[in-house]
């Protein structure tokens, strides 16, 4: 039944063997509607949004630059990041399933944290790319050569693996007792820690430490980069030059604000047992809404991407009419 009783001294504690994730079951009349909405969102992220960005940045010769190399990798990362949570949510909605085993939950949390940490580092890399392009333009081709770009991307991907895997192991090394109801939509660290035995404040410390390392540290690097970028832009003599420089950075800043804002609120602000519904909304924001709108933000505010999209569309229409 997912729980078993064990005698510990004179107390009966219920040791959890699996979790029940309520998700959206408190909204029974909206199950079909939510399944349809999340299916459309996932397919849009997979093909129409991030998938299209990957195709464009790989196929258009005009976009073979470090900035679009990072953007293509970022879009691929967003697909992987969303695929950790959304398919499981869709299956649970369709099958009316709520139970998840400890091992499956640990695997989902591990991949979620690794990909989330990678996204934080990759956003910092993209900020560094903009810093070099604007603040050190003469050295840009030398510094941001292809080998350096590849190393930065690989570093972003692999640096999070050992630490986040260790963090996941630490969370699941705590005994879970009492209720096995995980008041969330997927296995995430803050709601899991609420179910652990012992001193909740002590158990929450790894969550805060992880948030500082993978959230605040990359954010600090991003802020330092953009302070220097803005200072350099304001010194440009031409208003057109300032406008163009701000335009290339504004899309990245919007994405940073959306992702880090919701994630930091979820992981760093003190939690109460009544904050479950707020956490659900915030988690959907940085795992679903942000990946959905990121490509839209980049494409609508980037003339090069718009031109590449039009060229690709004309090519597809031309080939289909033959």
pLDDT (tens digit per residue) in 107-149: 999 999 999 999 999 999 999 998 999 899 899 999 999 999 9
DSSP codes joined into one string, 73-121: HHHHHHHHHHHTTHHHHHHHHHHT--EEEHHHHHHHHHHHHHHHHHHHH
- Comparing CA positions, the residue from 42, 28, 18, 188 lying closest to residue 93 is 28
- Binned at pLDDT 50, 70 and 90, residue 12 comes out as very low
Spatial distance between the Cα atoms of 33 and 26, rounded to a whole number of angstroms:
14
Which of these ranges, 71-75, 109-113, 316-320, has the smallest mean pLDDT?
316-320
Give the mean pLDDT of 154-168: 91
- Provide the pLDDT for residue 139: 93
Q: Which residues pair with 12 in a beta bridge?
A: 7
Which of these ranges, 121-130, 156-165, 173-182, has the smallest mean pLDDT?
173-182
Length of the chain: 322
114 to 120, 130, 179: CA distances (angstroms): 10, 25, 27
| Sequence-separated (6 or more) residues with CB below 8 Å from residue 241 | none
- Provide the pLDDT for residue 271: 57
- Position 7 pLDDT exceeds 60: no
Give the mean pLDDT of 187-212: 81
211 to 85, 116, 219: CA distances (angstroms): 19, 11, 11
Spatial distance between the Cα atoms of 58 and 40, rounded to a whole number of angstroms:
25
Helix (H, G, I), strand (E, B) or coil at 20: strand
Give the mean pLDDT of 60-71: 86
State the CATH class of domain 19-307. mainly alpha
Give the mean pLDDT of 176-191: 83
Spatial distance between the Cα atoms of 53 and 71, rounded to a whole number of angstroms:
8
- Provide the pLDDT for residue 53: 83
- Provide the pLDDT for residue 275: 56
Q: Tell me, what DSSP letter sits at residue 175? A: P
- Position 43 pLDDT exceeds 50: yes
2 to 5, 25, 100, 180: CA distances (angstroms): 11, 19, 9, 8
- Provide the pLDDT for residue 200: 67
Spatial distance between the Cα atoms of 184 and 281, rounded to a whole number of angstroms:
9
- Comparing CA positions, the residue from 145, 174, 171, 197 lying closest to residue 11 is 197
Element (H, E) at 140: helix 140-143
- Position 310 pLDDT exceeds 90: no
- Position 55 pLDDT exceeds 80: yes
Helix (H, G, I), strand (E, B) or coil at 136: coil
- Position 6 pLDDT exceeds 50: no
- Position 5 pLDDT exceeds 90: no
pTM for the complete prediction? 0.84
Q: How many CB atoms lie within 10 A of CB 275?
A: 17
More confident residue, 110 or 49: 110
- Provide the pLDDT for residue 214: 85
- Provide the pLDDT for residue 213: 84
- Binned at pLDDT 50, 70 and 90, residue 266 comes out as confident
- Binned at pLDDT 50, 70 and 90, residue 251 comes out as confident
What is the tally of helices (H) and strands (E) in the chain? 14, 4
Q: Tell me, what DSSP letter sits at residue 181? A: B
For the chain, the average pLDDT equals 81
Q: In the chain, pLDDT over 90 holds for what percent of residues? A: 22
| Sequence-separated (6 or more) residues with CB below 8 Å from residue 198 | 174, 175
More confident residue, 306 or 157: 157
Spatial distance between the Cα atoms of 16 and 179, rounded to a whole number of angstroms:
8
Beta strand 99-101 pairing with 18-20: antiparallel
């Amino acid at each position: 039944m997912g729980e078993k009783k064990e005698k510990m001294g004179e107390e009966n504690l219920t040791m959890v063997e699996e979790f029940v994730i309520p998700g959206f079951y408190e909204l029974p009349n909206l199950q079909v509607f939510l399944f349809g909405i999340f299916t459309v969102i996932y397919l849009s992220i997979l093909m129409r949004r991030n998938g299209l960005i990957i195709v464009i940045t790989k196929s258009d010769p005009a976009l073979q630059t470090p900035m679009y190399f990072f953007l293509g990798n970022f879009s691929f990362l967003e697909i992987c990041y969303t695929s950790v949570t959304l398919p499981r949510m869709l299956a649970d909605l369709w099958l009316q399933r709520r139970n998840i085993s400890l091992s499956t939950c640990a695997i989902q949390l591990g991949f979620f944290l690794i990909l989330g940490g990678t996204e934080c580092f990759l956003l910092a890399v993209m900020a560094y790319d903009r810093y070099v392009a604007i603040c050190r333009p003469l050295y840009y081709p030398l510094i941001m050569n292809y080998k350096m770009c590849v190393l930065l991307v690989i570093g972003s991907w692999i640096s999070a693996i050992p630490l986040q895997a260790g963090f996941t192991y630490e969370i699941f090394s705590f005994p879970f007792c009492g209720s096995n109801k995980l008041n969330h939509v997927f296995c995430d660290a803050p709601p899991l820690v609420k179910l652990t035995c012992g001193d909740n404040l002590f158990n929450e410390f790894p969550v805060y430490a992880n948030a500082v390392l993978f959230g605040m540290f990359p954010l600090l690097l991003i802020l330092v980069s953009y302070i220097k970028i803005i200072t350099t832009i304001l010194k440009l003599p031409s208003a057109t030059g300032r406008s163009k420089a701000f335009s290339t950075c504004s899309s990245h800043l919007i994405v940073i604000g959306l992702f880090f804002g919701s994630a930091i609120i979820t992981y760093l602000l003190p939690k109460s047992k009544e904050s479950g519904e707020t956490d659900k909304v915030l988690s959907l924001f940085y795992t679903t809404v942000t990946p959905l709108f990121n490509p839209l933000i980049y494409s609508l505010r980037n003339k090069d991407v718009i031109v590449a999209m039009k060229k690709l569309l004309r090519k597809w229409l031309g080939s289909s009419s033959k």
